[in-house]
Chain A
C-alpha cells in the first residue's frame, strides 16, 4: 500500500494556537507533528484525547481526530475508545494537575490495565489555565496565589506512582531538549501497552524557570543523567560522575574512585520494577534527575487485546450471538390461542 508521504505541516489543524508566547507547549506540539509522519499511521487513524488545562487544548491544534474532554478523565475516554477500536493510535495529552490531582485515580488504573495508548504528561509544576495555583508536583513551600505562606502539600512524583502501578513504559523528557523529546515520543509510540512520557515543560508566566536546572543547557549535564539501556549511569559536564547501588540506596560517586563496571547498569527491560522505582526517586538537587526511558517491558498483555480477545473466544465457543436462541433459552411455556 502506498501511503502518501506526510509532513509535519499536514498534521496542523486550521485553528489558531492560543498558548502564551514562549510556552513550552509549542515545542511539544512541534515535535509531535514531526514524529507522527515518521510513524506511518494515517491521520484519520490517529486520535488525541485530552482533559482540561493549557496542555489539553492540544487536540484542537492537530489535524487528526480529537476529543477535548473534562478534568482528569482523558484516560477513561481513551479506555472506551481503544477497547472498541483497537485499530486506532490513541494519544492522551494531559498536565500535572489534570493527570495527578483530579485524574489521579484514572491515571493509576489506565497504567495498571496496560491499555495500548500513549500518555504525554506535561509537567510544569503549576496550574497554568486557572492562573497560578500550586499543583500536585509543586515543591513544598512554594508560594502561589493559593499558598501565600507556602505550599504544605508534599509533592507527588508521577514516575514513582506510574512505576508502582507497574506501567510497562515510563520515560521522561524535556520541552527544551527537542531531539531527546522527539526520540522519546517515537519510542513511546513503538511500545505496545500504556506508555507514559513525562515532559518537563516550562510555564514562563506562572512558574518560570522551575526546572531550569534540567532545562538550561549549561546546567543540564550536571543535573540530569541520560538513561541508556545496558549502559552504566554516568553524568557530568566531563562525564566524570556515576551512580552506584549500595543495598537499597543509590549514591553519586566520582569515577576517579570507582570503576565503571561497579556502577549501576540500566536495565529498562527488567520486569521487576524495583530498580526503576529507585531511579524515579533521584531528585534534584541531591541527585541528578534521570531523563530517557526508565522502563520498557514487553510481553505484558494489553487491556484492549484482552477485552477483544474474550469477545473472539466467546464467539469461537458459542458462535455469533443469536437473539432468537437467547429469547427461547431456559424455561419457557406456551399459551395456545
Chain B
C-alpha cells in the first residue's frame, strides 16, 4: 500500500489515496468469510478496480469450531491498475477469532492493519486455538496497527430491536465486519444491500433486516468512533474500454462451453460426478437448460465419461469434468474416445494429490496424468487455462480442436483458477466466429460404400451420426482397418493406424499460434510457465524486467502438441527456468522433447507461488544487469 504523500482530510478523518490494497478476511469456517470476501470482491470490481481473489478453506464442511484446522480465509487484492495476482503480503487482515489470527498473521506486512473481533478472543476461543494467552501481545501492537472491535456485542446491539435469538444475531457479525471494511476502504454498500435483498428479502425478511442492520452498523462504527483516524481510497483501474463483470474460473468455464455450443450449433451434453473443485461447473451448467444443455449427474466418474462419449457418437457437444482422482477413473474411457476418434472435452480442475490429497488446495501435478494416463499409444491434445477469465476462451478452443481433429481434448484448470475471480470483459456474442461442424449427409443409391475411417486433410475421420441413412457403421475399441473401419488384427494396419492417429494429434501444432514471448526473444533467462501460475509469473517477470534483468516469459497454453517455435525459443536463452506447483512435470517434458536443460522451481504446499519467491528465484540465476548508461526503474 504505497500511501501518497498528499493525504487529504475530510471531516475528522484522513483519506489516503493508494494504488492497491490486499486484504484477507479470516474466521471460523462457519463465520461466512467466503461470503464476505465475495461481496468485497464484487463491490470492488463494480467500483472499477482490477481485482484478483484467493479463497482458502478447509476440506471439511464444518471443521471443529474455533480450531486452527477450521480457519477459512478469503484474500482479495483490488487496485487502480491491471493486476494478475491476489497479492503476496497483506495490507490488512481481519480476524474473527484467535485461531484465524495465529494462522494468518505471518502474511501481514509490518505496519499493516490488524482488525480483531475482540469478542472472539475469550478464554474458550484461546483454548480452542491451542493458546495459553491472548495472541494480541505488546509485540504485535508494536509491529502492526491493531484495532480491537467488539464485533459480536455491537452486532447484537444493532439487531436487538428485531427480537432475534442470540445465535441468529451472532450469525450476522460477518456483515458487521463487512460494513467496517467497506467504510475503511471506501466501498459502496449498495451492491451488498442488493445482494441481501435478493437472497433473503422475500423468503426470510427477518434475516434480511438483521444482515442489513449489521452491515450499516459496521459502517457507522467506522464513521463515528475515534478508533480509526484514516480511511483509504483506490481509484478505478485503467482497463481496456468495455463492459466488465466479475468472473470466477468455473463459471467462466461453463460459459465458455455454452458459447462453444452456440458457435458450433450444438447442444451441450455435460456429465459429471461431484468432486471438488470441479462440481461448480455442473452446478452452473445445470442452470442453463434453456440453452439446450443436458446435464447428467452420473453414478460414478467412469459413467460420466462414457455417457459423454455416447452423446458424442450421437452428435452432441459432449463434455465431462472432474479433478485428478476422477480423471484417473475416466482413463480407460478416454482411451476408447481416442480410438473411436470422436470429439469430446475432458476437463481436469486439478487439486493437491495424490489420491484424495488436498481436496480444497491447489496444485498443478496432473500434467503427466493428462499426457500419459491411458494404455497403449494414445496421445491426446492438452490445453491449459491460465486465469479465471481465460477459462472462457480455453473451453471454446478445446471444442474447436476437438471437432476439427475428431479427438477428445483435455482441458486443464486448477483449484486456484476455479475459485479465484477477476474482471472479465464481456464479449459480443454476435462477433464470435462459428466453429464449423459437419456431419456427412444420407447416402444415395449407388454411392460408394461409406468409409468411416477415411481421413481429410487434418487426418480427421468423418463424424457420421446415427440416423443418417446409408452410413451405418460400427465403432469400437478393437483396432480398425484403415478407411473401412472393419475390425483388423493385421500387424501392418495397427502400425499404420497408430502412426496416423499420432500424426493427427501432432498436426494440431500447425493449427495453433506460435508461442508468444513477454520480453525479448533471446537473452539470459527464459521463464516457462503454464496454467494457473500465469499471474504470479507475469508479475514477477515484469518487475524483474523493470529492474533491468534480461528475463523473458513464455506462458504455454498448448501443452500437447506444443507450439512449433518453442524449442528454438528455449535455445535462444542462456537459462530456462520452469516454475511449477509440482515436482517438475513440464520440465521433464521439455527436457525430453527439446533436449534443452531446464532449471526447476517447484513447490507443492497447496498454495500458489508468491511474486516475491519467484523474483528471488529469478535473481538467483540471472546475470546482474549491466547498468552502463542504462536507467533502471
Contacts and interface: CB of A to CB of B under 8 A. Distances in A.
Given A84-B316, A331-B246, A332-B243, A44 B290 contact: no
A149 to B, nearest CB: 32
Contact of B471 (A44, A311, A320): A44
A105 B474 CA distance: 26
Counting chain B CB atoms within 10 Å of each CB, the highest count among A59, A322, A323, A324 belongs to A323
Nearest to A52: B477
Given A88-B314, A332-B244, A337-B241, A80 B474 contact: no
Contacts of A77: 306-307, 309-310, 313
Given A43-B472, A80-B306, A328-B426, A85 B315 contact: yes
A109 B315 contact: no
Nearest to A60: B474
A29 interface: no
Contacts of B311: 80-81, 83-84
A139 to B, nearest CB: 29
Contact of B244 (A69, A78, A335): A335
A59 B476 contact: yes
Contacts of B299: 105-106, 108-109
Interface in A67-84: 67-71, 73, 76-84
Nearest to A310: B289
A315 B290 CA distance: 4
Contact of B239 (A59, A80, A109, A335): A335
Interface in B294-345: 294, 296, 298-300, 302-303, 306-316, 318, 332-333, 336, 340
Q: Is the interface of B mostly helix, strand, loop or mixed?
A: mixed
B469 A42 contact: yes
Contacts of A14: 486
A79 B475 contact: no
Interface residues of A, number: 65
B467 interface: yes
Interface string B401-435: 00000000000000000000000001111101000
Contact of B487 (A15, A52, A333): A15
B200 interface: no
B269 A76 contact: no
Contacts of B246: 331
A181 B243 CA distance: 65
Contacts of A64: 472
Contacts of A109: 299, 303
A337 B239 CA distance: 9
Contacts of A88: 314, 466-467
Nearest to A88: B466
A66 B429 contact: no
A81 B313 contact: yes
Given A311-B292, A311-B293, A323-B258, A73 B303 contact: yes
B349 interface: no
B426 A76 contact: no
A117 to B, nearest CB: 11
B429 A323 contact: yes
Contacts of B312: 80
A26 B293 CA distance: 41
A52 to B, nearest CB: 8
A314 to B, nearest CB: 4
A317 B291 CA distance: 12
Interface string A245-286: 000000000000000000000000000000000000000000
A311 B340 CA distance: 28
A300 B467 CA distance: 27
Counting chain B CB atoms within 10 Å of each CB, the highest count among A66, A314, A331 belongs to A331
B243 A328 contact: yes
A238 interface: no
A324 B271 CA distance: 25
A228 to B, nearest CB: 35
Counting chain A CB atoms within 10 Å of each CB, the highest count among B42, B314, B430 belongs to B314
Interface in A1-44: 13-15, 42-44
B48 interface: yes
Given A70-B336, A83-B311, A333 B468 contact: no
Interface in B32-68: 42, 45-48
Given A69-B477, A84-B315, A333-B48, A307 B466 contact: no
B316 to A, nearest CB: 4
B271 A69 contact: no
Interface residues on B, range: 35 or more
Contacts of A67: 310, 313, 340, 474-476
Contacts of A54: none
Contact of A79 (B48, B259, B307, B428): B307
Given A80-B311, A85-B315, A318 B290 contact: yes
A69 B429 contact: no
A335 B476 contact: no
A308 interface: yes
Interface in B547-596: none
A81 B294 CA distance: 12
B391 to A, nearest CB: 14
B372 interface: no
Interface string B227-256: 000000000101111111110000000010
B148 interface: no
A65 B313 CA distance: 10
Interface in A198-253: none
A335 B241 contact: yes
A321 interface: yes
A327 B426 CA distance: 6
Contacts of A307: 294, 296
A148 interface: no
A330 interface: yes
A314 B296 CA distance: 16
23 contacts: A14-B486, A65-B473, A66-B473, A68-B475, A68-B477, A68-B478, A70-B306, A70-B332, A70-B477, A77-B313, A79-B307, A81-B311, A81-B314, A81-B466, A82-B310, A84-B269, A84-B316, A85-B315, A321-B258, A326-B288, A331-B42, A331-B46, A332-B244
Interface of B: 42, 45-48, 191, 236, 238-246, 255, 258-259, 262, 267, 269, 271, 288-294, 296, 298-300, 302-303, 306-316, 318, 332-333, 336, 340, 426-430, 432, 466-478, 486-487
Given A66-B476, A84-B316, A335-B242, 17 more contacts: A44-B467, A60-B474, A60-B487, A69-B477, A70-B336, A80-B307, A80-B314, A84-B311, A85-B316, A311-B289, A324-B429, A326-B255, A331-B46, A333-B46, A335-B241, A335-B244, A337-B241
Interface of A: 13-15, 42-45, 47, 49, 52, 59-60, 62-71, 73, 76-85, 87-88, 105-106, 108-109, 307-308, 310-311, 313-315, 317-324, 326-328, 330-337
Closest 6 CB pairs of A and B: A68-B476, A80-B310, A321-B291, A80-B307, A323-B429, A77-B310
